[in-house]
Amino acid sequence: MTHATRSTPLTQLSEEESLFYSTVRQFAEETIAPKIRAMDDEQQFAQGLVERIFGLGLMGIEIPEELGGAGGTFFDSVLAIEAISTVDAGVAVLVDVHNTLCINALRRWASEAQQRHWMPRLATDTVGAYALSEAGSGSDAFALQTRAEAVPGGYRLNGRKLWISSAREAGLFIVFATLDPAAGYRSITAFLVEKGTPGFTVGRKEDKLGIRASSTCELIFDGCEIPEANLLGEPGKGYKIAIETLNEGRIGIGAQMLGLAEGAWAHAARYARERRQFGKPIAEFQAVQFALAEMATEIEAAKLMVYNAARLKDAGHPFVREAAMAKYFASQVAERVASQCVEVFGGNGFVRDYPAEKYYRDAKIGKIYEGTSNMQLATIAKQVLGGR
């Protein structure tokens, strides 16, 4: 694809990028939107929806064409996540984790044989999941208890993972385990674990506040034997794989929160034009106008930060600081905009017959997963005080 240059406003898209965003947005509005309420109630994706997402090419955006993907850019992935999130942030999680974490990890760290085996499947019919978190390792990401023991021909995994997005739908899991707990992060190792491997089961699904269509489950490893060919990268390099992919994943979450805020704003503005009080639309009252104007301003600022981080990543420039800032700020904006959306709707914003309350519930996770807001601030502080 062609891309905006540095002399071009960051939020201005090329013709190809604009067409791609519009196509995904139309898909979300026509295919996902009618199913939102049922998916939220039933806590699962509508039948056939995941297959439709694969069919549109949204699960292999950065996979090279020769391996069955679209041969796109990281920025393209960000646009897709943003567009889907305007309609349903829960569906966007599936696309986000698959593209920004799993595929990026395999592109950088998988062997040629692993890429030839997995990339065509990830592009066409196999959902990827990223299994790092545990009960005792949230923000302290490398305090892992899941153990990997070297055995003839490979490794044996024992332990549990928690909060794993897309666990119910996934066919491939990138699993992080420790070879020697005493060695700390230096023993963290990444493995490719296929669904159905003996000794591996997907456990309890969490009953969540928001993004309820997206499955979040525990993973259980009980003597799960993994062939040496399924080692991702080198033994002891799992921490590096995790850090690098999570830096990119934060931009994806920023895009998710940006799209959510845009969707909430659009509903609030539409309702303000339709809702009449004292003989005129509430959009004619200055208080409502100012609220919508402030929301729009914050959304534009968040978009600049998310797009800037994504374009820096694609250009091969340092982006860790910008990724942390984008994730931190976009999650703050999403929560504020979603809250204000509820208030614009008034009493109707507090009931499930209208869309406002779901945006509000979905927004909260943005400050928590893939690095809490405090962890982002810690990263930003280290970067800015260190001289970048």
> Which has more pLDDT, 6 or 211?
211
Q: Are residues 251 and 376 located together in one domain of the fold?
A: yes
Kindly tell me if the per-residue pLDDT of 200 is higher than 70. yes
Of 2-6, 106-110, 325-329, which range is least confident? 2-6
**Domain presence at residue 1:** no
**Domain presence at residue 5:** no
**Domain presence at residue 3:** no
Kindly tell me if the per-residue pLDDT of 6 is higher than 70. no
Pure H helices in 68-226: 74-85, 89-96, 104-109, 112-124
- Give the torsion through C-alpha atoms of 277, 279, 283, 289, to 10 deg: -90
**Domain presence at residue 328:** yes
The enclosing domain of 91 has a CATH number of 1.10.540.10
pLDDT mean over 241-246: 95
For residues 17 and 15, give the distance between their C-alpha atoms in angstroms, rounded to a whole number: 6
**Domain presence at residue 262:** yes
The pLDDT assigned to 2 comes to: 42
- The helix or strand, by DSSP H or E, that contains position 194, with its residue range, turns out to be strand 188-194
Kindly tell me if the per-residue pLDDT of 334 is higher than 60. yes
CA neighbor of 383 nearest in space, from 316, 311, 309: 309
Q: Which of 101, 125, 149 is the last residue of a domain?
A: 125
**Domain presence at residue 184:** yes
User: What residue numbers bound the domain in which 84 lies?
Assistant: 15-125
**Domain presence at residue 269:** yes
Q: Are residues 287 and 261 located together in one domain of the fold?
A: yes
Kindly tell me if the per-residue pLDDT of 5 is higher than 50. no
Amino acid (one-letter) located at 309: A
The pLDDT assigned to 224 comes to: 98
Reported as a single tens digit per residue, the pLDDT across 283-293 is: 999 999 999 99
49-53 CB contacts, 8 Å cutoff, 24+ apart: 49/91, 50/94, 50/127, 50/169, 51/125, 52/27, 53/91, 53/94, 53/95
The pLDDT assigned to 9 comes to: 72
Q: Are residues 67 and 133 located together in one domain of the fold?
A: no
Q: Which of 237, 271, 306 is the last residue of a domain?
A: 237
The pLDDT assigned to 1 comes to: 40
Q: Are residues 172 and 117 located together in one domain of the fold?
A: no
CA neighbor of 191 nearest in space, from 246, 253, 118, 249: 118
Q: Are residues 53 and 121 located together in one domain of the fold?
A: yes
The pLDDT assigned to 179 comes to: 97
Residues forming the active site = 370
Backbone angles phi, psi at 160, to 5 degrees: -135, 145
**Domain presence at residue 9:** no
In the block, which residue shows the tokens 């039933």?
A: 42
Q: Are residues 52 and 80 located together in one domain of the fold?
A: yes
Q: Are residues 72 and 171 located together in one domain of the fold?
A: no
The pLDDT assigned to 387 comes to: 64
Q: Are residues 246 and 233 located together in one domain of the fold?
A: no
The enclosing domain of 200 has a CATH number of 2.40.110.10
Kindly tell me if the per-residue pLDDT of 198 is higher than 60. yes
The pLDDT assigned to 139 comes to: 84
For residues 102 and 194, give the distance between their C-alpha atoms in angstroms, rounded to a whole number: 13
The pLDDT assigned to 388 comes to: 59
Pairing mode, strands 231-232 and 216-227: unpaired
The pLDDT assigned to 138 comes to: 84
pLDDT mean over 174-199: 96
Reported as a single tens digit per residue, the pLDDT across 215-232 is: 999 999 999 999 999 999
Hey, what are 248's tokens? Answer: 């990119």
Reported as a single tens digit per residue, the pLDDT across 256-297 is: 999 999 999 999 999 999 999 999 999 999 999 999 999 999
Q: Are residues 324 and 210 located together in one domain of the fold?
A: no
| CB-CB contact of 203 with 163 (8 Å) | no
pLDDT range class, residue 130, cuts 50, 70, 90? very high
Q: Are residues 354 and 303 located together in one domain of the fold?
A: yes
Kindly tell me if the per-residue pLDDT of 3 is higher than 70. no
Q: Are residues 288 and 337 located together in one domain of the fold?
A: yes
Mean pLDDT for the chain overall? 96
How many domains does the structure of the chain reveal?
Answer: 3
Q: Which of 103, 125, 147 is the last residue of a domain?
A: 125
Determine what percent of the chain is predicted with pLDDT higher than 90.
94
Q: Are residues 194 and 264 located together in one domain of the fold?
A: no
pLDDT range class, residue 7, cuts 50, 70, 90? low
Reported as a single tens digit per residue, the pLDDT across 295-308 is: 999 999 999 999 99
The pLDDT assigned to 169 comes to: 98
